[in-house]
Amino acid sequence: MKKEKADYNPDIELAKGAALTASSYDKTQGVDVTLAKVTVGGRSGEVEFTGEATGKGPGIEGTMNVWLSIFRYTRPDGTVNHVSGWNIALALKPGQTALETARAFEQYINTNTRPYRAAAHGDADKAALKIVYKEVK
């Protein structure tokens, strides 16, 4: 039996997006995910950095990592867009502030061709990074 294609539902499709996770491998700078999903419809994900970094050590020690999961959604024309996942790992410098870390991620994300854009805000002790999905043409 042939399955009938369902009608496009913008509410369902625009709510789809990447799960946002983050991890700190630094001894003194932390990270917390405060909004865990970046949607096609414009809801931003957000991570919050706190403290001053100890900095890069051997291996992954002294790094900060942000992950956006793979996902797919249907466009209004019926085509399916497969969005690849993205693992961003940045090495921290000794004494790097929370705001410097947020700005480093902002710059990395905004200068890349992936379909995401970011904005950093806060201060040296506590800073946030908002990430939105935006198709790059």
Show the domain range for 36.
10-133
Burial bucket for residue 10 (CB in 10 Å: 0-12, 13-18, 19+)? exposed
pLDDT digits (tens, 9 = 90+) for 26-62: 999 999 999 999 999 999 999 999 999 999 888 999 9
Q: How far apart are CA 19 and CA 79, in angstroms?
A: 22
pLDDT of 2: 44
User: Is residue 126 included in any domain, yes or no?
Assistant: yes
How many domains, in total, are found in the chain?
1
Q: What is the pTM of this model?
A: 0.92
Mean pLDDT of 76-90: 95
User: Is residue 4 included in any domain, yes or no?
Assistant: no
Contact 53, 75 (CB under 8 A): no
